[in-house]
Amino acid sequence: MSHPSLTVNRLTHSIGAEISGVDLAAGVEPAVAKELVDLFHEHQVLFFRDQQLDDVSHRDFARNFGPLQHFAFLPPVSEDVPEVHAIDIDGAKPKTANADIWHSDATFLEKPPLGSMLRAVILPDVGGDTLWASMYAAYDALSSHVQRLIEGMTAVHDSSNSVSHARKTVNADYRPVHHPVVRTHPVTGRKALFVNKTFTTRLDGVTDRENESLLTMLTDHVRSPDFQVRFHWTPGSVVLWDNRCTQHYAVADYAGRRRMHRVVIDGDAPA
Q: Of residues 130-189, which lie at the interface with ligand SIN (CB under 6 A)? A: 130
Active site residue 261: no
Q: Of residues 187-216, which lie at the interface with ligand SIN (CB under 6 A)? A: none
Active site residue 103: yes
Give the amino acid at 100: D
Task: Give the pairing of strands 115-122 and 246-250.
Answer: unpaired
3-state secondary structure 52-104: CCCHHHHHHHHHHHCCECCCCCCCECCCCCCCCEEEEEECCCCCCCCCCCCEC
Active site residue 262: yes
- From 3, 59, 179, 248, active-site residue: 248
Count CA atoms closer than 13 A to 210's CA, side-chain side. 7
Active site residue 167: no
Those residues whose C-beta lies under 8 Å from the C-beta of residue 229, and which sit 6 or more positions away, are 11, 12, 15, 16, 45, 131, 132, 133
Interface mask toward ligand SIN for 49-88; x: CB under 6 A: --------------------------------------x-
Which residue among 72, 84, 99, 142 contacts ligand SIN (CB under 6 A)?
Answer: 99
Please state, in angstroms and rounded to a whole number, the distance separating the CA atoms of residues 110 and 228.
27
- From 60, 105, 158, 242, active-site residue: 105
- Nearest-approach distance from CB 214 to ligand SIN, in angstroms: 25
Which residue among 55, 105, 158, 242 contacts ligand SIN (CB under 6 A)?
Answer: 105
- The catalytic site residues sit at 103, 105, 248, 262
- Contact positions vs ligand SIN (CB under 6 A): 87, 99, 105, 116, 118, 130, 248, 250, 260
